[in-house]
Amino acid sequence: MSTDPALRDAVEAFLGAHDDGILPIVRAGHPVLRQVAAPYDGQLGDLFPRLVEAMRLTMIAAPGVGLAAPQVGIGIAVAVLQDAGSPEGGADPRERSPLDFRVLVNPSYERHGDASVSFYEGCLSVPGYQAVVPRARSVRLTGEDETGRPLDEVVTGWPARIVQHETDHLRGELYVDHAHTRSLTSDDTLARLWAADPVPREAAARLGFPLD
């Protein structure tokens, strides 16, 4: 592990300009969202926990269930996740179980099993819109946590979707790259027409996209 003084100074100045800890979220079209994030290997030294906390606060304030460092303009392979889960509990076909706050460092995933599921998905960097994205129901997640402890686990359901979405950010990918473009809808239209059915069967039939 080696600190990068130039990066550390830039991040320290960036955090210092936002005393409340809420960072501006980069929108689609910014080059940082299309670049592969650099592996994190201690470049920020003792500033790292401060960045993680600022990312947590930014994610909550947005509000969102995940945030990758490139989304705040910092091209390192770090993401934070947290989701209260669905009030419908086990009745939610999305399997949106509660996800405690966690940090992913240099994460990677691979499909675990053959099952794919398709649901509407949005992104803090593409505000105002959602689209149906087919994703693996379960993935094997590897990487490290914020302490450097290795991660190697299987994640299923909505938490697996969050892992895939945020890890894709670190690869320079947005959810729209994987979405059925004919499903693209504004948030208000989704709430008015399609929100009653979490499995987007009617949307698929009426908008003309396949439901994987």
178 is in an annotated binding site: no
Cα–Cα distance between 136 and 164 in angstroms, integer? 9
Q: How many structural domains does the chain have?
A: 1
Question: How high is the pLDDT of residue 70?
Answer: 98
Catalytic residue among 88, 166, 173, 202: 166
Q: Rounded to an integer, what distance in angstroms lies between the CA atom of residue 182 and that of residue 195?
A: 17
On whether residue 212 sits in a domain, the answer given is no
pLDDT of residue 212: 75
**71 found inside a domain:** yes
Residue 59: CA count within 13 A, CB half-sphere: 25
Residue 178 lies inside a defined structural domain of this protein: yes
Q: Which residues of 162-189 are buried (b: 16+ CB within 10 A; e: fewer)?
A: bbbbbbbbbebbbbbebbbeebbbeeee
What pLDDT is attached to residue 128? 97
Ligand-binding site membership of 165 (annotated) = yes
Say whether 166 is catalytic.
yes
The residue range of the domain holding 102 is 5-207
Contact 33, 69 (CB under 8 A): no
* pLDDT recorded at residue 87: 77
Look at residue 44 and tell me if it is in a domain: yes
10-residue block means of pLDDT along the chain (212 residues)?
88 95 97 98 97 98 98 98 84 93 98 97 98 98 98 98 98 98 98 95 96 82
Domain membership flag for residue 55: yes
Identify whether 34 is part of a domain: yes
Q: Is residue 155 part of a domain?
A: yes
- What pLDDT is recorded for position 89? 63
Query: Residue 194: which CATH number?
Result: 3.90.45.10
Position 117 in a domain? yes
pLDDT at 1: 62
Is 112 labeled as ligand-binding? no
